Amino acid sequence: LRSSSLSLPRASSLQGGVRLSGFRASRRSRATTTRAGLDADSMNSLMALLMGDKSALVTKEKALPGRASKMEVPEKHFVTGNTMEQPFPSNLEHCVFGSGCFWGSEKAAWRMPGVWSSSVGYAGGFTPNPTYEEVCSGQTGHTEVYQVVWDPEIVGFADILRIFWQSHDPTQGMRQGNDSGTQYRSALFPATPEQHKLVLASKEAYQGALSKAGFGAITTEIGEPGATEYYFAEGYHQQYLAKPGSRPYCSAQPTGVAMPEYAGGECKLPEKYFEKYGAAAGVHDRLPERASPDGRAQVTTYFIIMNE
Least confident of 48-57, 196-205, 299-308: 299-308
Which CA distances in Å does 9 have to 14, 31, 208?
A: 11, 25, 37
d(CA 148, CA 105): 10
pTM summary value? 0.79
Q: Is 240 helix (H, G, I), strand (E, B) or coil?
A: helix
Listed range (35-44, 152-161, 172-181, 240-249) with the worst mean pLDDT: 35-44
- 263: Cβ contacts below 8 Å, ≥ 6 apart: 201
State the average pLDDT over residues 139-159: 98
Is 101 known to be catalytic? yes
Asked if 66 contacts 137 with a C-beta cutoff of 8 angstroms, the reply is no
Helix-strand-coil split of the chain, %, nearest 5: 30, 15, 55
Set 101, 136, 250, 267: catalytic member: 101
User: Which amino acid makes up residue 304?
Assistant: I
Tens digit of pLDDT for each residue in 227-260?
A: 999 999 999 999 999 999 998 877 889 999 999 9
* Whether pLDDT at 31 is above 90: no
Alpha carbons 65 and 67: distance in angstroms, whole number: 7
